[in-house]
Structure 1
Amino acid sequence: MIQSSTNSRKALLVIDMQKGSFTSKTPRFDTEGVVDRINQLAALFRQQGHAVIFIQHDGSSANEFVPNSEDWELLDGLQVEQTDLLVSKYVNDVFYRSELQAVLAEQKADELFMTGCATDFCVESTIQSALAKDYNITVVADGHTTGERPHLTAEQVIEHYNWVWQNMIPTKGKIEVANFKSIVQPIEN
Structure 2
Amino acid sequence: MILLIVDTQDSIVTKDLYQYEQFVSNTKQLICTARQNNTEVIYVRHDDGEELTKGVTGFEIFNEFAPELNEKIFDKHVNSAFKDTGLLEYLQSKNESKIMIAGLQTDYCIDATIKCGFEHGFDMIVPAYCNSTVNNEYLTAEQSYKYYNEKMWNNRYSRCITFEDAITML
Q: TM-score, normalised by structure 1?
A: 0.82
> Which of 10, 29, 34 is equivalent to 1:19?
10
SS of structure 2 residue aligned to 1:53: strand
User: Is 2:102–2:126's contact at 8 Å kept on the other side of the alignment?
Assistant: yes
Q: For residue 128 of structure 1, what is the aligned residue in structure 2?
A: 115
* 1:22 positional shift: 3.4
Among residues 145, 152, 158, which one is paired with 1:164 in the alignment? 152
Give yes or no for the alignment of 1:103 onto 2:86. no
Checking the alignment, whether the CA contact within 8 Å between 1:16 and 1:117 is kept in structure 2 is yes
TM-fit CA distance, 1:129: 0.3
**Compared with structure 1, are the counterparts of its residues 185 and 113 closer, same or farther at alpha carbon in structure 2 (3 Å cutoff)?**
closer
Give secondary structure in 2 for the equivalent of 1:52. Answer: strand
Task: Name the structure 2 match of 1:29.
Answer: 18
Measured in 2, the distance between the counterparts of 1:23 and 1:35 equals: 10
The residue that corresponds to 2:104 in the other structure is 117
Q: Select the structure of larger CA radius of gyration.
A: 1
Q: Deviations over 1:68-124 (max 9, x none)?
A: 322211112224222321110110011111111122134432100011101000000
Identity %: 25
Determine if the alignment matches structure 1 residue 153 to structure 2 residue 144. no
Matched residue count: 169
Task: Note if 1:179 corresponds to 2:162.
Answer: yes
SS in 1 for 2:153: helix
> Distance between the aligned counterparts of 1:88 and 1:185, measured in 2?
29
Give the 3-state SS of the residue equivalent to 1:166 in structure 2. Answer: coil
Matching residue's letter, 2:165: S
Structure 1 residue aligned with 2:35, among 36, 43, 46? 46
**SS of residue in 2 equivalent to 1:19:** coil
For residues 32-70 of structure 1, give each alpha carbon's deviation from its aligned partner in whole angstroms, at most 9, with x where no partner exists.
32122112111221222221011101122xx22111322
Asked if the contact 2:107–2:144 (Cα under 8 Å) also holds between the matched residues in 1, the reply is yes
Q: Distance in 1 between matches of 2:45 and 2:66?
A: 15
The answer on 1:55 being equivalent to 2:73 is no
Please give the alpha-carbon distance, in whole angstroms, between the structure 2 residues aligned to 1:55 and 1:70: 17
Quote the RMSD (CA, aligned, Å): 1.8
CA distance 1:119–1:167, shift in 2 (3 Å): same
- In 1, Cα distance between equivalents of 2:94 and 2:28: 20
Q: After TM superposition, give the deviation of residue 186 of structure 1 in Å.
A: 6.8
Task: Please say if residues 42 and 72 of structure 2, whose CA atoms lie closer than 8 Å, have aligned partners that are also in contact.
Answer: yes
Q: Contact 2:31–2:65 at 8 Å: present in 1 too?
A: no
Q: Secondary structure at the match of 2:21?
A: helix
Counterpart code for 1:84: E
One-letter amino acid of the structure 2 residue matched with residue 176 of structure 1: R
